[in-house]
């Protein structure tokens, strides 16, 4: 029984999130990147994430990193890459607020590997996110499928050099993102009505 006059801890108000994929979306996909010094951001990513955070979005990166289970790199390598990513975003007064990654190979059949939604649900619970008002930007079919399962707005970036692959993946699966853009900056701008 609650004592008279006792104060309850305030319940955090749910926040909107801009979920983002990592490789191929924020930075070039170097296939099993291990060395943080090789990380580069796509042009416009810093400005776009600054804009998102200025407009109340919590930036949450959700990424598949099967190279961990395959023995190609370690969780420490992934953590270094994420620290480096935020260092590169620093000059833009931008950052990724939280990183969630699946370390499993696809054959494991886990729920945390996209298009599974376990990592998004964990982020929702830990960060007090409002999924219906959130969105997700990625560059592959699994990103769009995960976003659709969650009921968030989805944007797919047609990374230069991979447009045909992305178009074919989506067409073969009969899946469409809510919007398609040729850059991360354009995707975020359209999702958040950037002027």
Catalytic residues: 21, 23
Terminal Cα-to-Cα distance of the chain (whole angstroms): 53
Q: What is the DSSP string of 78-116?
A: HHHHHHHHHHHHGGGT---SEEEEE---GGG--SSSTTS
Strands (E), the chain: 17-20, 58-64, 98-102, 135-138, 153-157, 179-181
Alpha carbons 5 and 1: distance in angstroms, whole number: 12
Nearest 5°: CA angle at 149, between 48 and 42?
25
Specify whether the CB–CB gap between 161 and 139 falls below 8 A: no
Write out the two tokens for 150: 């969650």
DSSP 8-state secondary structure symbol assigned to residue 127: H
Alpha carbons 160 and 136: distance in angstroms, whole number: 19
Instruction: Report which of 167, 177, 184 is spatially closest to residue 21, judged by C-alpha positions.
Output: 184
């Amino acid at each position: 029984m609650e004592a008279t006059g006792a104060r309850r801890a305030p319940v955090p108000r749910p926040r909107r999130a801009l979920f983002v994929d990592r490789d191929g979306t924020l930075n070039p996909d170097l296939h099993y990147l291990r060395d943080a010094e090789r990380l580069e951001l796509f042009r416009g990513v810093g400005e776009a994430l600054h804009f998102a955070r200025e407009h109340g979005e919590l930036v949450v990166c959700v990424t598949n990193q099967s190279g961990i289970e395959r023995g190609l790199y370690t969780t420490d390598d992934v953590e270094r890459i994420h620290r480096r990513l935020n260092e590169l975003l620093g000059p833009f007064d931008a950052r990724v607020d939280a990183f969630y990654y699946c370390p499993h190979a696809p054959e494991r059949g886990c729920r945390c590997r996209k298009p599974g939604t376990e990592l998004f649900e964990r982020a929702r619970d830990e960060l007090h996110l409002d999924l219906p008002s959130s969105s997700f930007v990625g560059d592959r079919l699994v990103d769009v499928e995960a976003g659709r399962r969650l009921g968030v707005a989805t944007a797919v970036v047609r990374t230069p050099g991979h447009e045909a692959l992305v178009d074919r993946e989506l067409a073969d699966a009969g899946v469409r993102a809510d919007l398609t853009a040729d850059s991360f900056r354009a995707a975020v701008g359209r999702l958040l009505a950037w002027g």
